[in-house]
Amino acid sequence: MKLSSTLMLQSVAVALWATRLERVKRMSAALRMGKRRRTTVHIFVLILIACFAHPASAVTLPEVLQTTVEKNPAILEAKAGLEQAAGQRLVFRSIVWPDVDVNVPAGLQYGHRAGESGAKGFAVGRGNLEQTLFNMAVPPSLRRGDIEVLIAEQQLNVAVVEQLHAARLAFYAALYNRSLESIRDEQRQKLQENVATQKNRFEAGLADRSAFTSATVQADELIPQSEAAQRAYREAQLNLAQAMGIDPAKSSLPAPDGELEFVPIHIDVAAETAAALQRRVDLKLARLFVRAANEDERIIAADYYPRIAGSIHGEWVPVSGIHRQESTSKTQDFIGSELREKAAYTWRVIDNGKVGGAVLRARAAREQNELTCRKLESNVSRDLSRIANNIEAIAGREQSLASASAAAEESARTVRENVATGLISPLEYRVSQTAFLTTESGLLDAIYQHNVARAEWDRVSGRYFQFSYETRRARQEADK
């Protein structure tokens, strides 16, 4: 009786084991079929992308900056504004130049007068020359014309700096998001290996279903993070193309070449502040606006000072005997060429510029420009100090994360080796992999923030026309 009971229990256990094994086989087959289908769909999507997408062209940072200067729409518009300023300069200087007017009336005279008969052709040459002899507006007008060109030049420089800075930040953002996507994909691949290990252990009966499910969930959690990094990378590529003046509909999106690197920098805030006040193009532009407003005020005030203009009027008659239009006798007719000189003196004494408020309005504009310029100058030291502190903090953070990343990688490798043998629980593996991903992503973020801070330092310190690190080090060595 005991033997039959034992045989019955063994048969039930074998039946249950066979049922579970059959269920596991069906699940494995379904997973393999689903994976094969997903793989087929993934390969098909890759083929479509390869067929219809433009090939991406790899560009370095110097190539990006060079293309931005040559093709950026805002820079090209500023260059056109510089050409327009040359014509505006002529308008301001026209007050000094003489005003010349030449005309040649010609016609046919016919009729009877004092015994004359028949038709006579005639032509009269007339010229008028007017030259300003004294005008208080002449000196400020000459200076204002020069300032107009200088303003256009500095506006071009400001546009170049802004667009180069935008292109540089887009380049760094593209490198950062591409590296972030690569880190998460690599981490997901390791987690997929853990999924395969837990699956084999589950099929062999060495682990329960929860370990396999936990490993699968952990691997799938990285999918939206990788997709977010990929979308950010595409957005950075689009911003980079816009800065470089590339039409995405007609050309491929530029792909940045290289990797983000951490390059230490030594900062002297006091020396950089003094140098930035001299070379910042936006500060130069603000000072030029102050000078322009000052000259505008002087031009307006000069309208209320005396002015003297001399004029010369001449008439040249090639043929005598031609009557004037208003003459009533021969004594009033043309008897030859003549030249008349005169001088005109004007003085506006009713309004001295303060009654109507024109001078006061110009003075208010000048004072407002002065306040804006002083505000920009006072912000230089504060901005440089803030960026210097930020760079120092990021450098300390990078060092800490570099050590933590190395330790987390070593710990994750040890845990990964032990989880395959079942010595460590999947929870510990998940914690170690999450810690490694966090430290690796944090280290990459610190390096990216350091590059962005250096770009901001170059912009605030006015180094954007010579911001290359190699050039700067060579210059420092030459100074030493």
13-28 pLDDT, tens digit each = 333 333 443 443 443 4
Quote the pLDDT of residue 116. 58
Among the listed ranges 13-22, 183-192, 251-260, 355-364, which one has the minimum average pLDDT value? 13-22
Closest CA to 398 of 445, 353, 363, 438: 445
Asked if the model's pLDDT at residue 86 lies above 70, the reply is yes
| Cα(57)–Cα(217) distance, integer angstroms | 36
Strand, helix or coil for residue 58? strand
CB 126 within 8 A of CB 303: no
Average pLDDT of the residues in 47-75: 73
**Structure tokens of 143?**
């200076």
Q: How high is the mean pLDDT of the chain?
A: 76
Highest mean pLDDT among 1-10, 377-386, 396-405, 409-418: 377-386
Q: What does the alpha-carbon distance between residue 244 and residue 22 come to, in Å, rounded to a whole number?
A: 61
Query: How far is 219 from 222, CA to CA, in rounded Å?
Result: 6
Examine the pLDDT at 330 and tell me if it is beyond 70. Answer: no
Statement: residue 477 has pLDDT above 70: no
Residue 99 reports pLDDT greater than 50? yes
For the segment 21-41, the average pLDDT, to the nearest whole number, is 40
Beta strands in 318-387 (DSSP E): 338-346
Which range has the worst mean pLDDT, 40-54, 173-187, 339-353? 40-54
